Structure 1
Amino acid sequence: MLEIIRSDSPQATVHIIDDDPNLRMSLLNFFESTAICADAFGTADEFLDNADLSLPGCILLDVRLPGMTGIELQARLKAMGYPLPIIFMSGNANVAISVHAMKEGAFDFLLKPFDGETLIETTLLAFKRNLELRDQTAAFLQSRACVETLTPRETEVFAYVSEGMMNKQIAYEMKISEIMVKLHRGRMMKKLQARSLVDVVRKFDQMHEAKRMKVDTTRPLEVEDLRS
């Protein structure tokens, strides 16, 4: 399954966070033997202070840590907007904690001790998910850059067209002539580099997918944030 890690991507890294030094070393040696890049930290604060969160990868996180717990770190990363998938690990089958972690977006929950095959498979699937999220974010940012070149009128037409409305209906809603709608629509499609209605809808959907992913949108898009 190593082909999951794309050759054109930066080196994906699994960040091990556990307060047991023997387990950290064991996991580091294991990942090294499978040609997977890994680093290790004893606490959540150490991880936050030293890990490069801009690179692709995932987190192998112990639930119980001194200071900030694994669950608390999950909440912190979620609030910071980092989409690194989290694989929780625990020596105790605490159903309440595992259910909470999964509801908050954990990628998986492994019980110690876990076998090497399961660990490798889960880690590589988490890498794959992170690369997908990064691709979605990049597509959103590209679409957003195009959308932000639209005038307020063109943005409004963009929203109406994406809802499947005909030019005549849009003209009625905007209280302008159908000729003006066609003019705004043509300019809108050119700026969005859209060749068809399908392209327009795809870019519109990317705006809403970004909101679901909680991608940072530092600048408003007008027209009720594209019919939010």
Structure 2
Amino acid sequence: MGVNKPTPIVYLVDDEFSIRDSLTLLIESTGQAVRSFESAEAFLNNYDPEQPGCLLLDVRMPLMTGHELQNELSKRDINIPIIFISGHADIADSAKAFRAGAVDFLEKPFDNAVLLERINEAIEKDLAFREEFTKKNLIQERINHLTAREKEVLSLIVKSHSNKESAKILNISNRTVDVHRASIMEKMQAENIAELITMVMYCETPSSRSKAEIFR
């Protein structure tokens, strides 16, 4: 029996009730779940990072603004796709939002069809990110279960060293390298060396992690 995946939710944060009400009705008419909040603080107090979805966010609100909420989510390492909506935006507002990672910026009044399309794209983006994150974590867990010596051998495999070269570098016998390679293949659940290397390279995220961190 498969595991039930959480249903994506569109989180809507806007201090105007009429906007929240109309957008909730519009989005729910497509069968999409919506949770609306009148403030950024209310959203932060109720948001579950494990829940997939996207955030429809007003720019100018009392207390914490949309930009400030975006920054707070970044500080908490929360990567929910954000679509900004605003009736009083300028170029500086949109530029600031995009620089901080927003996926879109729509000015009120906006075309409903365009909004719904952007929401679908944002949710697909979030689901793809979560799938990739899960896959990388699974690979990293397998690497973490390797012994220190196996990690050394794996690092040399990724660098395309032969068994003979690896044995010389590590000052061990060819037979010992063979044993380690077989154990690595089993623990990593790789069918062949090409798949093994692909798994390690996939696990590596150039922007934030190095091979040294992967093999720690």
Is the pair's TM-score, using the shorter chain for normalization, greater than 0.5? yes
Structure 2: 5+ residue stretches without partners: none
| Kept after mapping to 2: 8 A contact 1:159/1:226 | no
| Kept after mapping to 2: 8 A contact 1:159/1:204 | no
Residue 137 (structure 2) aligns with = 141
Equivalences for 1:20-31 in 2 at 5 Å? 20-31=16-27
Asked if 1:150 is matched to 2:152, the reply is no
TM-fit CA distance, 1:93 = 4.0
CA distance in 2, matches of 1:115, 1:73: 25
- Which structure has more RCO (C-alpha within 8 Å, separation ≥ 6)? 1
CA distance in 1, matches of 2:50, 2:64: 21
Once the two structures are superposed, residues 84-136 of structure 1 have per-residue CA deviations (whole angstroms, 9 ceiling, x without a partner) of 11111122342233223222221111111111110110000111011101111
| Kept after mapping to 1: 8 A contact 2:59/2:89 | no
CA distance in 2, matches of 1:170, 1:85: 44
Residue 11 (structure 2) aligns with = 15
Once the two structures are superposed, residues 46-75 of structure 1 have per-residue CA deviations (whole angstroms, 9 ceiling, x without a partner) of 001123332110000111121222112112
CA distance in 2, matches of 1:157, 1:99: 47
Which of 161, 167, 171 is residue 171 of structure 1 equivalent to?
167
Equivalences for 1:1-228 in 2 at 5 Å? 9-209=5-205, 212=207, 224-226=212-214
CA distance in 1, matches of 2:58, 2:173: 62
TM-fit CA distance, 1:227 = 6.8
Q: Secondary structure at the match of 1:58?
A: strand
CA distance in 2, matches of 1:109, 1:28: 18
Q: Secondary structure at the match of 1:73?
A: helix
CA, structure 1 residues 227+147, in 2 after alignment: closer, same or farther (shift >3 Å)? Answer: closer
CA, structure 1 residues 64+172, in 2 after alignment: closer, same or farther (shift >3 Å)? Answer: farther
Q: Which runs of 4+ in 1 moved over 6 A?
A: none
CA distance in 1, matches of 2:55, 2:61: 14
CA distance in 2, matches of 1:226, 1:176: 23
TM-fit CA distance, 1:24 = 0.7
* % identity of equivalent residues: 35
CA distance in 2, matches of 1:61, 1:204: 37
- How many residues are treated as equivalent by the alignment? 213
| Kept after mapping to 1: 8 A contact 2:143/2:215 | no
> TM-score normalised to the size of structure 1?
0.85
